[in-house]
C-alpha cells in the first residue's frame, strides 16, 4: 500500500515522537559533586573571635564577618593578647606615654610570628581585632589603638555584638 507524501510525513512524525530521549547524567553528577565539595569546604571554615567573660561588647549593625587575627582584649582588670595577660588596666591608665610598652613588645613578637612578605620594601600591614567592653574608657582604648598602629598592626577591627536584622541602635 502506498501512502501519499503528507501521510508519510505524519507517520514519520509519529515514529519520531515515540523515540526515547536520553540524558547524560554523568556530567551532572560531576557538577553536583564539585558544588557539594565547595559548599562543605566553605561552610566548615568559620572564623571566630575568642569570647571573653565579663565583657559586654557594644551593639552595632555590621555586615562584615570577623577574621581570625591577633586579638587584643580589654577586660575590667587586664589587657590580654590572645588570652595571655599583658598588663593590668590600672597600670595602662597610669602610663603617661601615648603607647603601652609591654603591649607593644608582645605585639612585635606576634608580628615576627606572622611574618609576611615585603611589598615595595615595606612589610605588609597586619590585622588586629580589639575586643573591649562598651564601658572601656576612651583614654585606654586610644592608647591601645596607638600601640597597635605603632607595632605595624594598622588594620584594626573593633569587635561588636551584631544586632538582629531591622533592630536599631
Q: Quick one: pLDDT at residue 169?
A: 47
Q: Quick one: pLDDT at residue 156?
A: 82
Interaxial angle between packed helices 138-150 and 101-113, expressed in degrees from 0 to 180 and rounded to the nearest 10: 40
Domain boundaries, the chain: 5-44, 59-162
Residue with cell 555590621: 62
**Can you list the residues of the chain whose pLDDT is less than 50?**
169
130: three-class secondary structure by DSSP: strand
pTM above the 0.75 mark? no
Q: Quick one: pLDDT at residue 116?
A: 58
46: three-class secondary structure by DSSP: coil
Return the DSSP state at 64: S
Domain spanning 59-162, CATH class: alpha beta
- Bridge partners, 73 (sequence order): 80, 131
126 touches 111 (CB < 8 A) = yes
C-alpha cell at position 67: 577574621
Amino acid at each position: 500500500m502506498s501512502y501519499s507524501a503528507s501521510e508519510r510525513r505524519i507517520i514519520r512524525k509519529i515514529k519520531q515522537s515515540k523515540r526515547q530521549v536520553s540524558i547524560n547524567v554523568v556530567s551532572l553528577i560531576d557538577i553536583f559533586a564539585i558544588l557539594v565539595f565547595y559548599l562543605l569546604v566553605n561552610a566548615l571554615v568559620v572564623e571566630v573571635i575568642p569570647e571573653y567573660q565579663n565583657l559586654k561588647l557594644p551593639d552595632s549593625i555590621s555586615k562584615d564577618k570577623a577574621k581570625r587575627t591577633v586579638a587584643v582584649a580589654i577586660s575590667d582588670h587586664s589587657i590580654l593578647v590572645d588570652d595571655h595577660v599583658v598588663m593590668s588596666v590600672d597600670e595602662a591608665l597610669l602610663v603617661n606615654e601615648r603607647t603601652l610598652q609591654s603591649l607593644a613588645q608582645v605585639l612585635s613578637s606576634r608580628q615576627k610570628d606572622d611574618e609576611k612578605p615585603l611589598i615595595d620594601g615595606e612589610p605588609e600591614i597586619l590585622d588586629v581585632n580589639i575586643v573591649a567592653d562598651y564601658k572601656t574608657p576612651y583614654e585606654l582604648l586610644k592608647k591601645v589603638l596607638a600601640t597597635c598602629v605603632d607595632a605595624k598592626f594598622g588594620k584594626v577591627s573593633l569587635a561588636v555584638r551584631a544586632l538582629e536584622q531591622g533592630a536599631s541602635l
